[in-house]
Amino acid sequence: MSEEKNTTPSNFLRQIIERDLAQGTYASRRWSHAPGDAAQQVAGEPDPAKIRTRFPPEPNGYLHVGHAKSICLNFGLARDYGGVCHMRFDDTNPEKEEQEYVDSITDSVQWLGFSWQAFGDTHLYFASNYFDFMYRAAEALIEAGHAYVDQQTAEEMRVNRGTLTEKGIDSPWRNRPVAENLALFREMRDGKHADGSMVLRAKIDMASPNINLRDPAIYRIKRATHHNTGDKWCIYPMYTFAHPIEDALENITHSICTLEFEDQRPFYDWVLERLADAGLLARPLPKQYEFARLNLTYVITSKRKLMQLVNEGHVEGWDDPRMPTIVGLRRRGYTPEAIQLFAERIGVSKADSWIDYSTLEGALRDDLDSKAARAMAVLDPVKLKLTNWDALFGAGHAEPCSAPVHPHHEDMGRRQFNLTGEIVIEREDFMEEPPKGYHRLYPGNMARLKYGYVIQCTGCEKDAAGNITAVLAEIVPDTKSGTPGADSVKVKGVITWVSASEGVPAEIRLYDRLFTEAHPDAGGRNFLDCLNPDSKRVISAWVEPGLASAAPDSKFQFERHGYFVADRKDMQPGKPVFNRTTTLRDTWQK
């Protein structure tokens, strides 16, 4: 455990950037206000962005909480150091991309609070717009003797690549003359050869201890219609070749990726050095840095598995509030600030580790506590009849009560609701035969109706089967909260309630973790085997009248119960629907 790596996790990238800024590593860069080759950038003005980072998702799925870490990191560093983070769609793979994903990804990044608008430019880019340059780069490598067309079968290539302990074997096509390579590569481009019949490979070192340097493929033949370039190309660059080029064309300074790309870094540098030598790319070149991806307990972040949850109907879509997708977290009631806070707290490190799910919920509670309006809701209602109401106040009387919207923010105002002769309370707030230490309602005992009067319980009504159908109590006169007599009677229990005649029925979705195991896919287990059968429970509850038309997405703390959000899709005026965002405390702790 090196201290440097683990105790100051948020610093290693910052230190690198601060050092580069101090040394002026990137001070000489020029920028033409668009991605481009060396000639184009050199003719531009001095780059106004001190650093350039990028967030480069493949538009083949919805973003999840792991991407959120990368977004907060890349956009956060750019913001903190006078730079800009590019929003780049890595759409070089023709087969998987869809507009639906592009839209949802841009939405999610903006919702998280970030922008790619800076220094007068909109830094929203599509890697497929660089195909022409990538092709030119490949020809330049061929001309300089750094690439060759290989006609081995995929299987031969695999076998000849060698292993960790055995060197690879040179391809019989490795020493083809440049002119022949060039001609064949052009034929590949022109559709003269079948898919998979040949590839263009970088000519590096088949004996390298780093297998990624054993002549990696850089272009393949693939007849597929691309969403941006249509049928213009039947050859496509490999990701490891395309990515460094995308970074360089965009003037990226710090290219931050996850740890599994560490072994690719030498190839990243190899590609850029060769193309800069050929005069195609401007120096100084971007540099790649790796950080540990986010692993969160109780959560799956594999795109394939998330897709399976959606497609097989284990959840109700990508934005199901149980999904770790950004759209799911949003619908669950997460705020952008909570996710940013989470990203800050976990920091970045060079070592893979697991973050406990409670860290995410903790950041959420810390953010919502100061923001969420308070409200009373009764989730498991039983009726309570105030039997001396009519005698005291007259039949049908409604007694105005008021409470702060937030106990610590008077500026958020007050909320008004009426106490009436019949209310609903939580079923657990009445017991016929209470255990020791129970301070709520039982025959003879007094408790306070929050923001209202002290009441004394007199008994209950039951149906033929013995179920309690109503609790009976009497108002203790002159004890209303906020009046001089409020403290004249001391009680130990305080009860939340909603007026039965003025409160509003609401659908409430009680969400919980989607999996019962901290590591749902550990040890080869099928993650579907530990789906939590109680991850969603729908109940009918009662809420304060003011919540009947809560704005979709508005957040509340239901006193005693936790944080809830008005569902952004299903909320309708007069027919409220709330999602439980999280309980007030972590109930999963051992």
Q: Phi first, then psi: what are they for 264, rounded to 5°?
A: -90, -10
**CB under 8 Å to 495, separation ≥6 — which residues?**
425, 426, 429, 440, 441, 447, 448, 449, 450
Strand order in the sheet with 555-558: 373-375, 555-558, 562-566, 577-582, 504-511, 536-543, 377-378
Q: Is the peptide bond before 552 cis (omega within 30 degrees of 0)?
A: no
Closest separation in Å from C-beta 321 to ligand ATP:
20
Closest residue to ligand ATP, judged by C-beta, is 66
| Sign of the alpha-carbon torsion through 118, 120, 126, 132 | negative
Closest separation in Å from C-beta 441 to ligand ATP:
49
Closest separation in Å from C-beta 110 to ligand ATP:
16
* Cβ proximity to ligand ATP, 144 vs 307, nearer residue: 307
Q: For residues 212 and 154, give the distance between their C-alpha atoms in angstroms, rounded to a whole number.
A: 16
Contact between residue 133 and residue 245 where contact means Cβ atoms under 8 Å apart: yes
Closest separation in Å from C-beta 294 to ligand ATP:
4
Residue of 293, 350, 383, 450 marked active site? 293
Closest separation in Å from C-beta 261 to ligand ATP:
8
- Locate 515 and state its tokens: 């999996």
* Cβ proximity to ligand ATP, 16 vs 102, nearer residue: 102
Residue 514 DSSP class = S
Closest separation in Å from C-beta 518 to ligand ATP:
16
Q: For residues 195 and 330, give the distance between their C-alpha atoms in angstroms, rounded to a whole number.
A: 42
What beta strand segments (E) does 19-139 contain? 30-31, 45-46, 52-55, 84-89, 117-118, 121-122, 124-126
* Cβ proximity to ligand ATP, 58 vs 337, nearer residue: 58
Closest separation in Å from C-beta 301 to ligand ATP:
5
| Sign of the alpha-carbon torsion through 62, 64, 68, 74 | negative
- Locate 471 and state its tokens: 């609790």
End-to-end Cα distance, the chain: 27
Kind and range of the H or E element at 236? Answer: strand 235-237
Residue 515 DSSP class = B
* Cβ proximity to ligand ATP, 78 vs 257, nearer residue: 257
Q: Residue 293 catalytic? A: yes
* Cβ proximity to ligand ATP, 304 vs 490, nearer residue: 304
Closest separation in Å from C-beta 346 to ligand ATP:
10
DSSP codes joined into one string, 573-588:
TTB-EEEEEE-SS-S-
Q: Phi first, then psi: what are they for 189, rounded to 5°?
A: -60, -40
* Cβ proximity to ligand ATP, 67 vs 480, nearer residue: 67
Among 355, 349, 347, residue whose Cα is nearest residue 324: 355
* Cβ proximity to ligand ATP, 290 vs 426, nearer residue: 290
Q: Residue 273 catalytic? A: no
| Sign of the alpha-carbon torsion through 92, 98, 102, 108 | negative
Residue of 303, 365, 509, 555 marked active site? 303
* Cβ proximity to ligand ATP, 36 vs 56, nearer residue: 56
* Cβ proximity to ligand ATP, 115 vs 258, nearer residue: 258
Closest separation in Å from C-beta 341 to ligand ATP:
17
Contacting residues toward ligand ATP, per CB under 6 A: 56-58, 60, 66-67, 69-70, 257-258, 293-294, 301, 303
Q: Residue 560 catalytic? A: no
Q: For residues 265 and 215, give the distance between their C-alpha atoms in angstroms, rounded to a whole number.
A: 15
Residue of 58, 502, 517, 559 marked active site? 58
Q: For residues 87 and 106, give the distance between their C-alpha atoms in angstroms, rounded to a whole number.
A: 8
Q: For residues 364 and 68, give the distance between their C-alpha atoms in angstroms, rounded to a whole number.
A: 14
Active site (catalytic) residues? 58, 293, 303
